[in-house]
Amino acid sequence: MGFAKRTNKKFDYTPRYYKGEGNPFKIEHTFDQFRKVDTNKKSLKQKFNLAIDDLKTPQNKQSTRIIVFVVTLLVFIFLYIIDFDLSIFRTK
């Protein structure tokens, strides 16, 4: 039974535009280079605290203002679409 004792073939493959720097197959998140969280730390609590600190200190206040503006605009558009009536808040 020769088909049961097969070995896997190995190929020496390099991508077409590989420059030779680092691993071309390494998958990492787009914004990893901007984060303070160090993945080499062993303590989960320390990683969590660094991530929370990173979220508390925004780098660009104008971008947060734009996000808030867009969210409020979308909420008003949603309320207009569902025909929200403010008369339910009136006291008799």
Give the Cα separation of 89 and 81 in Å (integer).
Answer: 19
- Given this model, what pLDDT does residue 35 score? 66
pLDDT score at 43: 81
In a domain, 5, yes or no: no
Cα–Cα distance, 66 to 63 (Å, whole number): 5
Residue 41's CB is within 10 A of a number of other CB atoms, namely 11
**52-75 mean pLDDT:** 82
Q: Give the pTM.
A: 0.38
Task: Look at residue 62 and tell me if it is in a domain.
Answer: yes
Q: Is the pLDDT of residue 73 over 90?
A: yes
Answer for the pair 38, 50: CB distance below 8 angstroms, yes or no.
yes
Q: How confident is the model at residue 50 (pLDDT cuts 50, 70, 90)?
A: confident
In a domain, 79, yes or no: yes
CA dist., res. 14 & res. 24, Å (int): 9
pLDDT, residue 69, reads: 95
Q: Residue 81: inside a domain, yes or no? A: yes
Query: What's the confidence (pLDDT) of residue 70?
Result: 94
pLDDT band of residue 75 (cuts 50, 70, 90) is very high
Q: Is residue 3 included in any domain, yes or no?
A: no
Residue 31 falls inside a structural domain: yes
Could you tell me if residue 22 is inside a domain? yes
Please indicate, yes or no, if residue 25 is contained in any of the structural domains.
yes
Q: How many domains does the chain have?
A: 1
35: domain range?
Answer: 10-89
The residue with greater pLDDT, 51 or 80, is 80
